[in-house]
Amino acid sequence: MNRQYRMLAGPAAQVPVGGLATVDASPQTAGSYPGFFQLCLSGPTSARPNGSDGDFPAAAGNLQAGILFLDTTLGYIITSDGSGGWRNPNSGAAV
């Protein structure tokens, strides 16, 4: 699975503070954005991590609670609930 991260420019970046970038989560791109910091994983609904993905810790087949994901289909950040679902952190509703 090709993971992507949403990045936000901090004061040391070569762009205005608050600039955004979506980058591949590969070692080759990790150092290519000096002054940016990682916000969360990012991608469409179909790219949400799940308990069968080998690159995430899972308990009882489910992702651990608290993984943040910018669902670009929905247009906001969601969080894993530890029981295999995803939640809107503002309302608690399943998404």
- 62 and 33 co-located in one domain: no
- 35 and 72 co-located in one domain: no
- This prediction has a pTM of 0.84
- 38 and 3 co-located in one domain: yes
34-52 as b/e: b if 16+ CB within 10 A: eebeeebbbbeeebbbebe
- What rounded mean pLDDT belongs to the chain? 88
Is 50 contained in some domain? no
Is 52 contained in some domain? no
Can you give the pLDDT at residue 24?
85
pLDDT at 48 over 90: yes
pLDDT band at 6 (very low <50, low <70, confident <90, very high): very high
